[in-house]
Amino acid sequence: MRKPIIAGNWKLNKTITEATNLATQLVEGLGSISDREVIIAPTYTALRRVFDVIEDSPIQLSAQNCYPQTSGAFTGELSPEFLQDAGCQCIIIGHSERRQLMGETDLFINQKVYKTLQAGLKPILCIGETLHERENKQMFDVLSKQIKEGLADLTAEQMATLIIAYEPVWAIGTGKTASSDQAEEAHAFIRRLLKEMFNNEVAGQTRILYGGSVKPDNIDELMAQKDIDGALVGGASLNAEDFIRIVKFKKQIS
Ligand code: PEP
């Protein structure tokens, strides 16, 4: 059984005061929820104050990025160890905005994944194809490269805590969600690949989240798919009511 995860990526939004207010609303609205995991990823500057708000709740803290070195002459960067010191349990790695805007490569992303695991934190590895790649029938090749290179040299044991987020770039922040069939097709492909690269157990245990314009009105259908284990939510995670509804997605009774 894979426990569902709903993660909110706040990106470059919410001042420290706004972030602590939103976190307070989530703590109150979600109570002691335990049949699903909830993760929020505020900006770096808000991390510690948000941690103080959620510390005694089931909500976990995530960073949106990291640098793959512990400490030293790396001006402006933060390592997994420093993020852990701020209260983080997870780190989002390889988000499409960082791949596209900051030119992050699969090799660099792999170094971050490795370092995050070494520090004892959970990486949320983001992958996904652009519209151009999908239209040119390159989707499976792109996903395969991102997974194989992003997870290069990891052992099956190291995969135990890693989370994958499939986020088709054309669906992020655009209001266009992949249909549940399109999302399921990609998730099933990723799971088959994990089986090939590692083993049945890794394929069966790894949580694969869907991301791309997830909203209160599409979460239930997405979560009804066999290989969709949760969601990485951008825009809708900035509103407490919407995010709480997404976290409280309705389970289909089969
Ligand atoms: C994201 O940033 O990871 C994301 C999925 O954004 P949105 O939900 O706004 O499409």
Please report which confidence band the pLDDT of residue 253 belongs to, taking 50, 70 and 90 as the band edges. Answer: low
DSSP, collapsed to helix, strand or coil, labels residue 229 as coil
pLDDT of residue 254: 53
Instruction: Identify whether the C-beta of residue 165 lies closer than 8 Å to the C-beta of residue 124.
Output: yes
pLDDT of residue 33: 96
DSSP, collapsed to helix, strand or coil, labels residue 55 as coil
Of 37, 95, 97, 184, catalytic: 95
Per-residue model confidence as pLDDT tens digits over 26-36: 999 999 999 99
Calculate how far, in angstroms, residue 173's C-alpha sits from the geometric centre of ligand 1: 5
- Determine whether the shortest distance from the Cβ of 211 to ligand 1 is under 6 A: yes
Residue 163, amino acid: I
DSSP, collapsed to helix, strand or coil, labels residue 7 as strand
Instruction: Identify whether the C-beta of residue 178 lies closer than 8 Å to the C-beta of residue 143.
Output: no
User: Which tokens is 26 given?
Assistant: 């989530």
Calculate how far, in angstroms, residue 200's C-alpha sits from the geometric centre of ligand 1: 30
Active site residue 187: no
Instruction: Identify whether the C-beta of residue 165 lies closer than 8 Å to the C-beta of residue 122.
Output: no
- Determine whether the shortest distance from the Cβ of 8 to ligand 1 is under 6 A: no
Per-residue model confidence as pLDDT tens digits over 10-51: 999 999 999 999 999 999 999 999 999 999 999 999 999 999
pLDDT of residue 251: 79
- Determine whether the shortest distance from the Cβ of 128 to ligand 1 is under 6 A: no
Per-residue model confidence as pLDDT tens digits over 171-214: 998 888 889 999 999 999 999 999 999 999 999 999 999 999 99
CB count within 10 Å of CB 141 equals 12
Alpha helical stretches, state H, 31-75: 47-54
User: Which tokens is 109 given?
Assistant: 């992303």
Query: For the residues 53-58, what does the mean pLDDT come to?
Result: 98
In this structure, which residue's CA is closest to atom 1 in ligand 1? 234
113: CB partners within 8 A, 6+ apart = 93, 94, 123, 125, 150, 151, 154, 162
For the chain, the domains span: 5-247
- Determine whether the shortest distance from the Cβ of 232 to ligand 1 is under 6 A: yes
pLDDT of residue 175: 84
Of 97, 104, 129, 167, catalytic: 167
Per-residue model confidence as pLDDT tens digits over 132-155: 999 999 999 999 999 999 999 999
Calculate how far, in angstroms, residue 232's C-alpha sits from the geometric centre of ligand 1: 7
Query: For the residues 85-104, what does the mean pLDDT come to?
Result: 98
Under CATH, which number does the domain 5-247 receive? 3.20.20.70
Active site residue 133: no
Instruction: Identify whether the C-beta of residue 55 lies closer than 8 Å to the C-beta of residue 87.
Output: yes
83-116 burial code (b ≥16 CB/10 A, e <16): bbebbbbbbbbbbbbbbeeeebebebbbbbbbbb
**What's the mean per-residue pLDDT of the chain?**
97
User: With pLDDT > 70 as the criterion, what percentage of the chain qualifies?
Assistant: 99
In this structure, which residue's CA is closest to atom 8 in ligand 1? 234
Instruction: Identify whether the C-beta of residue 214 lies closer than 8 Å to the C-beta of residue 233.
Output: yes
Alpha helical stretches, state H, 60-210: 80-85, 96-101, 106-118, 131-135, 139-150, 180-197, 200-205
- Determine whether the shortest distance from the Cβ of 234 to ligand 1 is under 6 A: yes
